[in-house]
Every structure is written in C-alpha cells, then in structure tokens.
Structure 1
Amino acid sequence: MKKDSVDLETRIRQSAAAIGFDAVGFTSADLPSSVRERLTHFLDLGRHGDMAWMENRANERAHPRSLWPHAKSVIMLGVNYGPDSDPMRALEHKNNGVISVYAQNRDYHDVVKKKLKRLARQIAIENDVEVKVFVDTAPVMEKPLAEQAGVGWQGKHTNLVSREFGSWLFLGAIFTTADIRSDDKETDHCGTCRNCLDICPTNAFPAPYQLDAKRCISYLTIEHAGPIPHEFRKAMGNRIYGCDDCLAVCPWNKFAETAREGAFHARNELRAPALRDLSSLDDAAFRKLFSGSPVKRTGRNRFIRNVLIAIGNSNDAGLADAAENLLDDESPLVRGAAVWALAELSPSKLKRYHAARVNIETDETVMSEWRMALKSQPSH
C-alpha cells in the first residue's frame, strides 16, 4: 500500500459528504471481461434500439482507460434522489401524467456534475494529481464500476441497488491518476425476489439482469424518436416521461430516505400535471415549463406524443377535445398520436374528422394511423 493512501481515502470520503454525496467507493480504472461480454451481447441482439451512441462508442464504454489512459483509479459517487411518496400511486389518476421521479425537478446531470467538479478540483489541488469527471454523458459504464467500488450491485432490473438507498441513486465518476486502494466489490442481494421483473408493464426483461430497451417505457418515452409502437401504447398508461415501476417495487427501498438535495424534490407543477394542460403546450410554453429539467431535452413534439398516448388511455371522453385540437398540429408525430387518442375516446368524432383530412394529410405515418384507427372501429 502506498504511503498516505488510507488518509487520502478518508479525506475524499469526508469531502464528498460535505459537498453532498451520499455514497462513495473506490475502484481501479478497469472492468472485467464479463462486463464487456454482456455489453456486446446486448448490442448484438439490437436491444439498444435507437441509441446508436451506445454502439458507436462501445469500445470506450467497455474499457475505462480508453477514455483516459493515465487513469489509475475511479472514485464512484452517488446522490440519493429518493421520492417523498410512492410513485406507483400516481398511476391511479388517469387524467394526470406521470413523470419519472428523477425528472420532476432539476436535471441531475447539471446538479451532480457541479458537485463532481468541486470535489475533483479539491482532490487535484490537495494531492497534486490529475482528475476528470463524468456523469452519464460520456461512454462510462457507471453501474458496473459502482458495483466494483462497493456502492451497490446491479439488480435484476439492471439498475444499481444500494443497501442504504434502494434503487434511488444518481451516479457520477471521477477518474484520477491517484493510486487509491480499491473497496471490496458489493455482492448481489436480490435473492429470489422478482418484483422488478414481474411489475414491468411491457415485459422488457427477457431474463433477470437483462433489459431489452426497445420494450422499456423509459426508452420509448424518452429515447425513441418515432411513433410509439402500437403493442406498447395501452401498457404505457399515463406514463408520459420515463417509468419508475421496476425501481419503485424494490424491497431495498424500505431503507431509503427522501432526498436531502432540494434540487431533487418534486416541483408541484411536475408532480402530477393534468393531461389537458400539458396537451396545450406549444414549443415556447413547453420550454418554459421544463426549464432546467431533463424533460426539456426530449423536445415538445416527442413529449406531446406521450401525453396523447396517456390521453387515449384515460378512458375520459371529456379529454377527446384535447386530442381533436392536435389533429392539425405541425408535427406529424403529434398528429398521428392525436388520431390514436381520439379513436380510443370518441370513434364517432374520429370518423367525422377523417372525411375532412383524408385529402389534405401528406405524411404517410399519419395516414397509416388513420387507416389503422378506422379499421379497428366497429362497422355498424
């Protein structure tokens, strides 16, 4: 063991806690071949869907030192974002949209990166070492590194689980030239539990510890650029940005506490927003409402697509006019979702509107929505 290495670890832990990190672990800047093999298997099966960036930078993702050859150690850090209530309850109120817990306030990238930079700067100055920070925007496999650093383990839902914070941890990494003693790897404590697998509305887990992102509601509502595949629309319910089901049912959450970081406390207007109000957002209003939020990155059109799917699932005919109002939207993505929503809530109105639009619609994806919607209606 190198001189002062224990003291360095202690100082880093103390500094991290003072800055607002809830979990700290140390590991080498390497990953075992088993991690690379799992990533290759995931990509070979096409389970990453539209996320081409995962495939394009797979080598860097699988080899941490490829990002920075001089790195010797990785400091893995976690920030608790535990909610103050059960996210599953929001699914019962079909007239309201459900936004994933992590996105109900500030963008965690900004909040966590600010903390990482502050800690990294302190480490570099005090110990005359070099540092680089990463928080989910670079090809870093944070979860395997966090498991290796003892912060938690990758559960059957493929997310990190902590004995102290359940499934509610944001992760960030500091790569450094400092030679720091590694912590013991955390062991898997999932046991025979299948809660996260069985709760998934779209059966996105082909097997424990495996995710098919193309079936995941978080992927569909955030990453997927086109129309929501018909087979998943009903299963989405009123989830309009992300999905917390597999996280929320984790038994280890019983040890978690509400986030102490105010930036991760839900904004009232994003806790359970009314679908009718959201459907009326134009681009400017969307940007204003979601300023500083990760939702903003998705863009207005993709978000309204999600809102319309939720409206179609609401079983509230009173929301049919919200879908009607978007049949002429500039975005084909929105128009197509509006057709589906109106078909679900008011088939008679759908048929009346079709006559006026069949000769003016120019987008084939929207025309396809019209054909499918009309075909699914009773003939009498």
Structure 2
Amino acid sequence: MMLSRDVLEPARARAALLGFGALRVTTPDAAALPGRRLVEAVADGHHGTMDWLAETADRRGDPRLVWPAVRSVIMLGLNYGPAGDPLANLADPAVANISVYARGRDYHDVIKGKLKEIAGLVERDTRAKVKVFVDTAPVMEKPLAAASGIGWQGKHTNLVSRDYGSWLFLGAIFSAAAIEPDEPAVDACGSCRACLDACPTDAFPEPYRLDARRCISYLTIEHAGPIPFEFREAIGNRIYGCDDCLAVCPWNKFAAAGAELKLAARADLERPAIAEFLGLDDAGFRSRFSASPVKRIGRERFLRNVLIAAGNSGVTELVEPVAALLDDPAPVVRGAAVWALTRLAPARAAAERLARAAEEDDAEVAAEWRVVGEPAGG
C-alpha cells in the first residue's frame, strides 16, 4: 500500500522549524540513471584519486544495495546562503579564502541531529523503519534531491533551487514505507553558462559534467599529494574549497542568507590572513579548526594549500615563515614551501637550493628543487 504524502506533514512542519527549506519524496529507482553516469565518469578517470567512488558506484546507483528495505527516499535541503559576497576574499591575496560551507561548524554534525529528530516523526507516522544519511554513505544526494523536486542539477553538477540558488546542504532519510513521490524539478539553467565560465581551472569538460582532477575543491580537499603545477596559479588564495561556480549562479538572487540556521560563519574564518596559518603545528591546527570540516584534511594538506596561496600572494612579509617550512617533517609541506619561496623570493630560493637540494631524500620535494633551477621557475 502506498501512503499519501500527507503522512509527512508533522515531519515537514518540524523540518521547517529546524531550518530546512524543503522536504520532498522520491523513489529508490531515481538513482539508476545518475548511477550509470557515475560509472561512465569513473571510467573516464574524472573521479581522480577518490577510489571510494569507484568502489561504491554500484551501491550509489541503487539505494536498495545500501539498505534493502528502502521503498522511499525523503530528501531535505537546508539553506546555507552567505550573508555577503562569497567571492570578496579573492580580491585580497593576503587573505586565506575558505569555502563558505566550511566557515562555520561542520555541517555533518549540525544536520545529522536535526535529521534524526525528523526521521523519528517519519517512523512514528508511517510505522516503518528509517535510516538517516548525511554525506556519510554511498548515497547520490544531488540526483535524488533533483528527482524529489527540491531543485535540479545545474551545469556545475550541484543542486540549484528556485528558492535557495546553489546554497543547499542535503540530507536523506530512507524509509521502509512506500510514500507517494513528489514530481521532479525541471532544469531551468537554459542557455546560461555562468558557472562553467567562472571555473578558474576549466574543470567542466562539458555542461553537467565535472572532471574532479581539475577542480579546486578536489585539489585542496580530497587530493593528498603535491598540487599539480598547472593549477597552482589558478588556485590563487583558495586554501579550502572553491565557491566560484556556485557563487555566480543567477538563481542565487532568490537565496536569503542562511544565518538563522545556526551555521553562521566563525569570525576568525571569514577573512583570515595567510600569515596566521603558516606557523601552525599539529596541535595548533587541531585547536584552530575544532568542530570545523577543515580539520578533516589534516595539518599537512592544509599547510600545502596555505603555501600555494602564499606563493600566489606576492606578500614579501611571508618569505620568512615560508622559508621556515622548508624544514617541515612532511614532504608535501616542504615541497609546497619550495614553490612558494621560489615565487616570493627567487634569489633566496636559488640560494637555499644549493644548500638543500642534494640532501633531500623525498623524490617529489627533490623535483620541486629541480624546478627552482629552471629559467621559468615552474
């Protein structure tokens, strides 16, 4: 027996009080076509080093492989639209820019508790078991949200809503009850290419398709090794994630700031200076980013990103703190420090090369020193 969507009215009302702007329903079958497209993207290598995407592609295309009892997928969207210009920091190269979603508390922690409360109401009113997911399982949240009608996947592959633009966190409640599904959203991107044209690294080989290997969010968050030379200048001062394709979406004009959702940015992460991060040891990093999603990438990857931003800054006051990191125990930090120093003080880098290059035992850092001796400087 299929239950009417009306059975979700108590859950919908509670969701609104908890800050969710949308609660809609779809079926597990809605993930089938997106799942096949994911398999194609993986075959093309567009997932980069995210091997977990390849390993879980079959389950992402069929929610029943995640939980065999699921008969309905309830999708919720929570607005995190910024109060100000999300790209303002990019104009000041001395500022370390952190993606809007990561300037406050970790959204996983904020949303999961809310979802569990709503899921309890769904379970009570449908008399069927439920499971809750927030970006922690092989679930294709964006295609499922589009199938439920919350929005559509834009040309930048992110969800776009008529009410909230590109600024939505998503959560899923799987239900063992068959609930009448909502109608899917209609793509309203039209001929617009704003998000595609805004990408600093040309990460979209075509509309609606992302090559993660070229994406700044992937490079600064998921990618573990040295950042490829070809993308370093384009990264600019983005030290964690990238909002460019989201921020230029014309539908954002309908997105009110999401401050009421208790996801407001921390004051110390809105416009931090690059200089204040260069001296962080592991304990300092963990303390500074306590309860922040930034903490998940660890100090080494984080400092690699900060050093790329330092090298792009042109701020000569950063030379000494950058040079100090040439002795860092982590090869990925030392290598990024070589590049940053070469950009900020080529003569100093050349002098350091004479003293250090022959002693470097890490192949990737040694490769960075070799570039110092080349005419173009990398």
- The residue correspondences of 1:306-321 to structure 2 (distance < 5 A) are 306-321=305-320
**Residue 162 of structure 1 pairs with residue 158 of structure 2:** no
Conserved? CA contact 1:36–1:62, under 8 Å? yes
The equivalent of 2:120 in structure 1 is 121
Matched length? 377
The equivalent of 1:346 in structure 2 is 345
The equivalent of 1:288 in structure 2 is 287
Conserved? CA contact 1:347–1:377, under 8 Å? no
Helix, strand or coil for the counterpart of 1:22? strand
What is the aligned-residue identity percentage? 56
How much has 1:2 moved relative to structure 2? 4.4
Equivalent-residue separation in structure 1 for 2:187 and 2:305 (angstroms): 35
The equivalent of 1:75 in structure 2 is 74
Q: Deviations over 1:212-264 (max 9, x none)?
A: 00000000000000000000000000000000000000000000011144542
Equivalent-residue separation in structure 1 for 2:304 and 2:116 (angstroms): 36
Helix, strand or coil for the counterpart of 2:359? coil
Letter of the 2:128 counterpart: V
**Residue 333 of structure 1 pairs with residue 332 of structure 2:** yes
Equivalent-residue separation in structure 2 for 1:373 and 1:48 (angstroms): 31
The equivalent of 1:364 in structure 2 is 363
How much has 1:319 moved relative to structure 2? 1.5
| Unaligned 5+ runs, structure 1 | none
How much has 1:377 moved relative to structure 2? 5.3
The equivalent of 1:205 in structure 2 is 204
Q: 1:149 to 1:262 in 2, by over 3 A?
A: closer
Q: Deviations over 1:45-96 (max 9, x none)?
A: 0100010000001110010111111111110001100001111111001001
How much has 1:190 moved relative to structure 2? 0.3
Letter of the 2:300 counterpart: N
Conserved? CA contact 1:301–1:334, under 8 Å? yes
- The residue correspondences of 1:4-153 to structure 2 (distance < 5 A) are 5-31=4-30, 33-153=32-152
Equivalent-residue separation in structure 1 for 2:31 and 2:342 (angstroms): 51
Equivalent-residue separation in structure 2 for 1:100 and 1:318 (angstroms): 25
Letter of the 1:356 counterpart: A
How much has 1:123 moved relative to structure 2? 1.9
Helix, strand or coil for the counterpart of 1:31? helix
RMSD: 1.3
Equivalent-residue separation in structure 1 for 2:77 and 2:261 (angstroms): 15
Equivalent-residue separation in structure 2 for 1:262 and 1:182 (angstroms): 27
The farther-off stretch of 16-25 and 87-96 is 16-25
Q: 1:198 to 1:356 in 2, by over 3 A?
A: same
The equivalent of 1:252 in structure 2 is 251
The equivalent of 1:220 in structure 2 is 219
Letter of the 1:224 counterpart: H
Q: 1:302 to 1:10 in 2, by over 3 A?
A: same
The equivalent of 2:322 in structure 1 is 323
Equivalent-residue separation in structure 1 for 2:11 and 2:116 (angstroms): 13
Conserved? CA contact 1:81–1:261, under 8 Å? no
The farther-off stretch of 154-163 and 175-184 is 175-184
| Unaligned 5+ runs, structure 2 | none
Equivalent-residue separation in structure 2 for 1:150 and 1:361 (angstroms): 55
Helix, strand or coil for the counterpart of 2:327? coil
Equivalent-residue separation in structure 1 for 2:163 and 2:141 (angstroms): 18
How much has 1:132 moved relative to structure 2? 0.2
Conserved? CA contact 2:148–2:181, under 8 Å? yes
Equivalent-residue separation in structure 1 for 2:361 and 2:179 (angstroms): 61
**Residue 240 of structure 1 pairs with residue 239 of structure 2:** yes
Q: Deviations over 1:141-194 (max 9, x none)?
A: 001100000000000000000000000000000000122111110000000000
Conserved? CA contact 2:31–2:60, under 8 Å? no
Moved over 4 A (4+): none
How much has 1:32 moved relative to structure 2? 5.5
Equivalent-residue separation in structure 1 for 2:266 and 2:156 (angstroms): 27
Equivalent-residue separation in structure 2 for 1:6 and 1:267 (angstroms): 38
Equivalent-residue separation in structure 2 for 1:83 and 1:103 (angstroms): 11
Helix, strand or coil for the counterpart of 1:35? helix
Helix, strand or coil for the counterpart of 2:171? strand
Conserved? CA contact 2:98–2:239, under 8 Å? yes
Conserved? CA contact 1:200–1:246, under 8 Å? yes
Equivalent-residue separation in structure 1 for 2:263 and 2:37 (angstroms): 32
Equivalent-residue separation in structure 2 for 1:62 and 1:221 (angstroms): 27
Equivalent-residue separation in structure 2 for 1:346 and 1:317 (angstroms): 8
Q: 1:364 to 1:172 in 2, by over 3 A?
A: same
TM-score (norm 2): 0.97
Conserved? CA contact 1:222–1:242, under 8 Å? yes
Equivalent-residue separation in structure 2 for 1:369 and 1:306 (angstroms): 15
Equivalent-residue separation in structure 2 for 1:221 and 1:376 (angstroms): 28
Helix, strand or coil for the counterpart of 1:30? helix
